[in-house]
Amino acid sequence: MESKFCVLNDAEDLQTLITHTEERIQFERSKTLFEEIRASINNNDEEDRSFWRPVLPWGGVYIIRAGRKAISCTPLYVKINLKNTCTIDGFLMILYVILRDNHGFPRELGVFLGKQFVEHFLTLMDSCDYATVKMLWIWYRMSKRQYRSAVRQAALEIDLFGNEHENFTKNLENLMSTMQESLCTSWSCPTRFQELLKTTVIINPPHELPHRDPIQSAVDEFFCPKILLCTELGCDGLREFSQRVFCHGAPPFVILNMQQWRSEELSYVPYHLALSQHRYSLEGATLFNKEEHHYSAAFQIDGYWMHYDGLRSDNLILLHKPPELLLLSSLVYTRASDK
């Protein structure tokens, strides 16, 4: 039955769809979605603090038109139902805000994800073509092993149930790649010299809460040089680790994986972070509800915090005060010098 469905396998088909979308919105939109959200903040009504329409709603339905490459494709329009998209929705929302709020960042991110990808992503978000935004991420950034797909009721279903760091953070190529070198003091060590590469920034809570900011302390621990017992089989030497550095320079933004932290360890979340000799500012966070296995997000524009939850009908709400970041999945910081 799957052979009846026409699934995009190359960039040409998707490029055609995106081009049609871009041509359409040139006549329909005078403002970007970001400008509309910013305007709603400045003109908000205390009694109704939600954005006037849904933004990036949960799930989605994407229609593929059978093109010239379709050998056998019935019906003429093939439907793809998207499920459990909250594992990418919150990050896509924050990514959009970051790129629109920092003029130099799209060019920097384009080095890693591709200039065309970044341009198409922004165009599709501004056109409110949210199902295509999600399909753009799925087709271009995710591998097939990261999601489940099946044919149900004459439609292809793509299910993104899982972990947002698997579905989003790990698919940012080498944006946040770091390297740390180590050398064992023992000449008989089977692997004296090692290079340790990491593509994400996972910080662990300290065993004992430090006197100063625990998150800054954990970041310092991740990057700082250290001396530890060598763990190579049969080696009794000491291993000296160098300062960890970003492989491609300080990235425009950093996502801190906070999944190991408990709420009682998050009584204080720093608005500024010293990271690899650069100053970063808190831009947003993703939140995880364990009971519902559901992700949402919070982010700030011009100092005002907004909460995004794709499952709600009013899914973008201006908050009276900064959110309590106690159910954290991640913290997102942007390089402050570009603001």
Encode the chain (339 residues) as per-residue pLDDT tens digits: 333 334 445 455 556 555 555 555 454 557 899 999 998 888 876 666 788 789 999 999 998 766 555 445 555 557 899 999 999 999 999 999 999 999 999 999 999 999 999 999 999 999 999 999 999 999 999 998 999 998 887 788 999 999 999 999 999 989 999 999 999 999 999 999 999 999 999 998 887 766 678 999 999 999 999 999 999 999 999 999 999 999 999 999 999 999 999 888 887 899 999 988 889 999 999 999 999 999 999 999 999 999 999 999 999 999 988 888 878 999 999 998 644
DSSP-assigned letters across all residues of 43-68: T-BTTB-B-SS--S-SSEEEEEE--T
Residue 310 and residue 317: Cα distance in Å, rounded? 11
pTM strictly above 0.85? yes
Residues 6+ apart with CB under 8 A from 304: 41, 318, 319
Question: 74-93: buried (b, 16+ CB within 10 Å) or exposed (e) per residue?
Answer: eeeebebbbbbbbbbbbbbb
Residues 6+ apart with CB under 8 A from 16: 67
Query: Cα–Cα–Cα angle for 325, 329, 330, nearest 5°?
Result: 85
Residue 322 and residue 90: Cα distance in Å, rounded? 17
Instruction: Tell me whether the omega of the peptide bond preceding residue 323 falls within 30 degrees of 0, making it cis.
Output: no
Residues 6+ apart with CB under 8 A from 261: 205, 328
Residue 35 and residue 322: Cα distance in Å, rounded? 21
The tens digit of pLDDT for each residue in 14-37 reads 565 555 555 554 545 578 999 999
The tens digit of pLDDT for each residue in 311-320 reads 999 999 999 8
Q: Which two tokens stand for residue 42?
A: 């400045």
Residues 6+ apart with CB under 8 A from 155: 78, 79, 80, 81
